Amino acid sequence: MHARKPAALAALTAALVIGLAPAALAHVTVNPGTAEKGGFTKVSFRVPNERADAGTTKVQVGLPADHPVAFVSVRPVPGWTVKVEKAKLKTPVKVEGGELTEAVSRITWSGGRIDAGQFQEFDVSMGPLPEDADRLVFTAEQTYSGGEVVKWDQDPGDGANEPEHPAPVLKLTPKGAADARPAALTATAVKPAEADDGTARLLGGLGLGAGVIGIAAGGLGLARARSRS
């Protein structure tokens, strides 16, 4: 009887962990999570439904006003209606060919539905990305069919202590950083290959030399045998 208690307690603990894990991880994210400074990129705002008794019927994404993006376009999502809103900038931003006095401030998708256990991705193309920032922090609002609105607007910081409702964050990397890493990896990978090739050639040469010595020794032995007979 006593042996069953630890097993039952372990099973209950595991069930609670499994049950709570999806709720802790089910928040709005931007994918991929990195992009190059000064360039254009396409990101997907991934929205999972974390309610078992309601569906997600509206999603709003707010773009940062402190680092406005000049060009923003959205990809149509079947079953959803999209609305793009712009706002006047307090301080105009210089862009190629002039000044940016207004920028996209909010994108709203509505009319569709994300049911329990499902997620939807909303694609957005944007650029040029700022060169004087290391990240873009967006905000998101998720509206459920029952009227509940969940705001994902808390700055996650460095990710060490994630808040309850973290905002989607796009990290910005220096220009050329994405291309430099594969080149370095390729250069590192070539060295072992060259070493293996050199080793193979050395072993091949030693094998050939051993074969020649063996043939010569065999010939010498045959000659001696004939001279004795």
Q: Answer whether residue 191 shows pLDDT above 70.
A: no
Note the pLDDT tens digit of each residue in 35-75: 999 999 999 999 999 999 999 999 999 999 999 999 999 99
**pTM score above 0.75:** no
Band (pLDDT 50/70/90 cuts) for residue 24 is very low
Which among 65, 68, 74 has a CA at the least distance from the CA of 125? 74
> What pLDDT score was predicted for residue 161?
84
What is the enclosing helix (H) or strand (E) of 194?
Answer: helix 177-228
Q: How far apart are the C-alpha atoms of 213 and 225, rounded to whole Å?
A: 19
Which among 121, 107, 109 has a CA at the least distance from the CA of 61? 107
CATH 2.60.40.2230 fits 26-175, yes or no: yes
